Structure 1
Amino acid sequence: VTELIELAIGGAAVSQIYAGSKSYDVICRFDEESRNSPEKIGNLLLTSASGAKIPLSQVCDIRMTTGASTITREMNKRHLTVRVNLRGADLTGFLNQANKHIGQQVTYNRDTIRLKWAGQFENQSRAYSRLGVIVPLALGVMLLLLFGACGKFRQAALMMSVVPLALFGGMLALNIRGMTLNVSSAVGFIALIGVAIQNGVIMLSQINNLRESGYELKEAVIAGTRHRFRPVLMTATVAVLGL
């Protein structure tokens, strides 16, 4: 039955033609008048093992219906993909709204049908999971390195205190520009944290040098800020332009 339907409706390769080093299949199928209606398809003849000719309509039910053009499977289960192109919106916020509307307006059997978000969202979730481990670990290593360089935990904590301010400024800049938080901006935040801590190291090292030279704390802070403001500004500007 399958071979007859394939040959009559879809066509099948019955031979090959060679042209030089290339080969081309010769496709054969029934003419359109013999396959343009369920009745005519039912009149197609099958050949039994004894050689008898049997109409196709006697062994199967032929009717017009609607359905999927293709059926795909993943892990031995039927799989249907719905593609979405998202622009001008936060991916996480969009998915939260989509899940909310699906839960309220779409009814389906959750025991037999499973909904899964994949593609960019899956990659972003995987990246966020890794960043959730890498970023705290990197900040902890930075704190230890700063403590080893300064010898005082208070000064190391003071330099790390610029991180929340840098994050606040970065989020404010994203909001002003109408951008959303994604993997690319998360990588930019990592670079921003590094630049902010580097500027803190430059500033604090100058203040410590002035303190060792006999300056009072207030005078050392004012003089150190005045002397290192331009180098810090140049470093931050180069980092911004580079990113």
Structure 2
Amino acid sequence: MLKNEQGRLISVVYVDTRGRDLSSVVSDLQAAVSEGVDLPAGVSISYAGQFEYLTRANERLQVVIPATLGIIFVLLYLIFRRFDEALLVMGTLPFALTGGFWLLYLMGYNQSVATSVGFIALAGVSAEFGVIMLIYLKSALAKRRGELDAEDVGEAIREGALLRVRPKAMTVAVILAGLFPILIGTGAGSEVMSRIAAPMVGGMITAPLLSMFVIPAAYLLMRRPRPERSPQSEGETECVPQPL
């Protein structure tokens, strides 16, 4: 069958990939063609189909992901009105996402547009975990009146963190109960939906642990009173002459 595109005759070669991600297959094809195929004048090769859609989606994600992180940071600053607390939540996001990467590795999933969508959703949930934990910690500190020493601050942060254990467990249980059937589903559309759910399910292991252990510890370091430095520690030492 004769086919044409943009006024030029074309010949289509269909390639089916199994057990590998599409980007690496096309990358190997491009390397093999550039090394072993001499194209005559007027002949060109283009890679279309799913690879073309994937390329367009990756270009959009390069804009969407930084924009999403920027919006999360702005919202965090509007909530706390402090850069250090907003940076604390943002700094924990990469560690909260590690569970999603591990589950993708264990299930043999390659990085794709669907998994990127799952990681974007996981970043939002992880930021929410951090925000609620900080609200509880700040509330526990606000309940204590007067001058607080390091022991009082540590006790208040411990109380605030313990108040979040039961709500956190309930939230994680509800999310896992909703996403686990999607993760193991085998019906129509399950290939895409399982890859969206996998980062969320894996992240529900690391994100709650991070918000319950790392964020309170980091917040304690930020709010713990610093001991006053004596003049001698600042370099103001008294010179005493030594006998000869």
TM-score past 0.5 threshold: yes
CA deviations 1:90-110 (Å, max 9, x no partner) are 11111111211222222223x
Q: Answer 1 or 2: which has greater helix percent.
A: 2
2:194 alignment counterpart: none
How far is 1:174 from its partner?
A: 0.8
2:17 alignment counterpart: 86
Q: Is 1:219 matched with 2:155?
A: yes
**Quick one: distance in 2 between partners of 1:235 and 1:96?**
42
- C-alpha RMSD of matched pairs (Å): 1.7
Of the three residues 165, 179, 182, the one matched with 1:229 is 165
1:131 alignment counterpart: 61
Structure 1 length as normaliser, TM-score? 0.66
Structure 1, gaps ≥5 residues long = 1-69
**Quick one: distance in 2 between partners of 1:230 and 1:145?**
26
How far is 1:173 from its partner?
A: 1.5
Of the three residues 135, 144, 153, the one matched with 2:74 is 144
Which structure has the higher relative contact order (CA within 8 Å, separation 6+)? Answer: 2
Amino acid at match of 1:146: L
Q: Is 1:186 matched with 2:122?
A: no
Secondary structure in 2 matching 1:161: helix
1:9 alignment counterpart: none
Structure 2, gaps ≥5 residues long = 180-196, 198-244
Secondary structure in 1 matching 2:45: coil
Structure 2 length as normaliser, TM-score? 0.66
The answer (yes or no) to whether the contact 1:195–1:236 under 8 Å persists in 2 is no
Q: Answer 1 or 2: which has greater strand percent.
A: 1
Of the three residues 71, 74, 90, the one matched with 2:2 is 71
How far is 1:178 from its partner?
A: 0.8
2:36 alignment counterpart: 105
2:51 alignment counterpart: 121
Identity of aligned residues (%): 33
How far is 1:82 from its partner?
A: 1.0
